[in-house]
Amino acid sequence: MKNINECRRWIESHMDIVIDLVRMYLGVGLFVKGIYFLMHQVELKKLLEGADNLAFGQGAVAHYIIPVHLVGGLLLAIGLLTRLAALAQIPILIGAIFYIWLPEVLVFEQRQNLEFSALVLFLLTLIFVYGAGRFSVDYLITRKESRQTQAHSPA
């Protein structure tokens, strides 16, 4: 029990590291999903056909999903433009939940797509609100800017 309490105290005192790990994991996962959709565009098309959209809407969505997952996933993984990258992902997950997976909630399948999409949406929202942590490019840039501002300010 002592080790669990020590672990909990460490996590509570290093919450930014935990958020960074979640951000990095989400970024890599979304990047891999973007590669998957790029390599399996027929499957993405089948998913979008089930949503009763027009052909133009399906094409526009397909041309939004793949680049945002690829670029946004990389940006999240390294922590550059973190809030913007998370914000760009959120409409995709909202669409996946409400237009693709929620209508099929009564259909039993092996993969838990609705639950997974909702979890990713929740975590992206947390990352959007919290922002990048210590181990991100955003942190390095803002820290560098604050040092330059302090050096140039009259004391």
Mean pLDDT, to the nearest integer, of 83-99? 88
Number of domains in the chain: 1
The single residue listed with the structure tokens 């914000």 is 87
Give SS3 for 19: helix
Band the pLDDT of 75: cuts 50, 70, 90.
very high
For the residues 49-71, what does the mean pLDDT come to? 74
In a domain, 47, yes or no: yes
Angle separating helix axes 82-95 and 113-130, nearest 10 degrees: 150
Tens-place pLDDT, residues 94-139: 888 887 777 666 666 655 677 788 888 888 988 888 888 888 888 8
Within a domain: 102:
yes
On whether residue 143 sits in a domain, the answer given is yes
Residue 8 lies inside a defined structural domain of this protein:
no
Q: Which domain holds residue 110?
A: 15-150
Q: Does 7 map to a domain? A: no
Is 9 contained in some domain? no
Q: Which residues contact 136 (CB under 8 A, 6 or more apart)?
A: 20, 23, 78, 79, 80, 82
Looking at the domain assignment, is residue 40 inside a domain? yes
CA distance 100 to 15: 34
Query: Rounded to two decimals, what is the model's pTM?
Result: 0.76
The predicted structure's pLDDT at residue 1: 57
Is 37 domain-assigned?
yes
